[in-house]
Amino acid sequence: MNIKEILRQVKERILAPEEAELLLNMTNYEEMGYAKLDTGRKERTGFAEVVFCSGKADEHLLAIFERLYEKEGEVFGTRASKEQYELVRTRFPQIFYDPVSQILKIEREGKIRTGKVAVCTAGTADIPVAEEAAQTAEFFGTNVERVYDVGVSGIHRLLSRLEVIQNANCVVAVAGMEGALASVIGGLVSRPVIAVPTSVGYGANLHGLSALLTMINSCANGIAVVNIDNGYGAGYLATQMNRLAEGGR
């Protein structure tokens, strides 16, 4: 249904204005030939479109950043290389790049953040994925408490930060190797736990598959699992939970 038809049905009282708004948002995108920018995504879901940078041609990446910045006044990109950062910086000198998480972003100043999410790692080698989760949540308006290197090989380290973790609206548990951290946290908190398996580990870790299977088979309650190394997905989901806990969208 095109815009004229939607407006006609509203005029004839076939469609309610609220239904028309939803339909308009669903058809709202900008055609770029090589990409269709989902300019109505923020209205539909509460989150503007994010750029997955890896694999994009230079001219496509730069043009997409420009259009999203024009539309939103800020842009968030994941899995960006240093070379892509240098490219985008020629157009946006204010661009921020974190080589650890590979986040590439322009963020509005003075952003208000609410609630709290705890992002925990089993080890320091898991921090790149954890930072992708933490910075995603922060970009979308969530306060983040980082609790790093608290894996089960020295569980006293986790217990020393337990109060901080228990007071969060949601906990992100990032772990490679055998991935046991999520199960331990799941048995200690009353909040939802988002488990993120990482590809950190030796041969039998199978590039994160062992951690993934451990987390999926956890006997602890209240654990949801995202894909291997998917810090972005965890940060996004944690923000949705945090918004619900804070009573807002």
pTM of the model: 0.86
Per-residue model confidence as pLDDT tens digits over 75-114: 999 999 999 999 999 999 999 999 999 999 999 888 899 9
> What mean pLDDT do residues 19-47 have?
75
CATH of 114-245, one of 3.40.50.720, 3.30.70.270, 3.40.50.1970, 3.40.50.920: 3.40.50.1970
Alpha-carbon separation of residue 106 from 110, 122, 126 (angstroms): 13, 30, 25
- 46 φ/ψ angles, rounded to the nearest 5 degrees: 90, 0
Alpha-carbon separation of residue 155 from 117, 119, 122, 131, 234 (angstroms): 21, 16, 10, 22, 23
Per-residue model confidence as pLDDT tens digits over 139-148: 999 999 999 9
Q: How much is the pLDDT for 1?
A: 56
> pLDDT band at 27, cuts 50/70/90?
low
Q: Is residue 177 scored above 70 in pLDDT?
A: yes
> What mean pLDDT do residues 26-43 have?
75
Q: Is residue 39 scored above 90 in pLDDT?
A: no
DSSP E strands in the chain: the ranges are 30-31, 36-37, 51-52, 75-78, 96-98, 103-106, 114-121, 142-147, 170-175, 193-197, 223-225
pLDDT above 90 coverage of the chain, percent = 72
Q: How much is the pLDDT for 241?
A: 96
The residue extents of the domains of the chain are: 32-106, 114-245
How far apart are the C-alpha atoms of 225 and 233, rounded to whole Å? 10
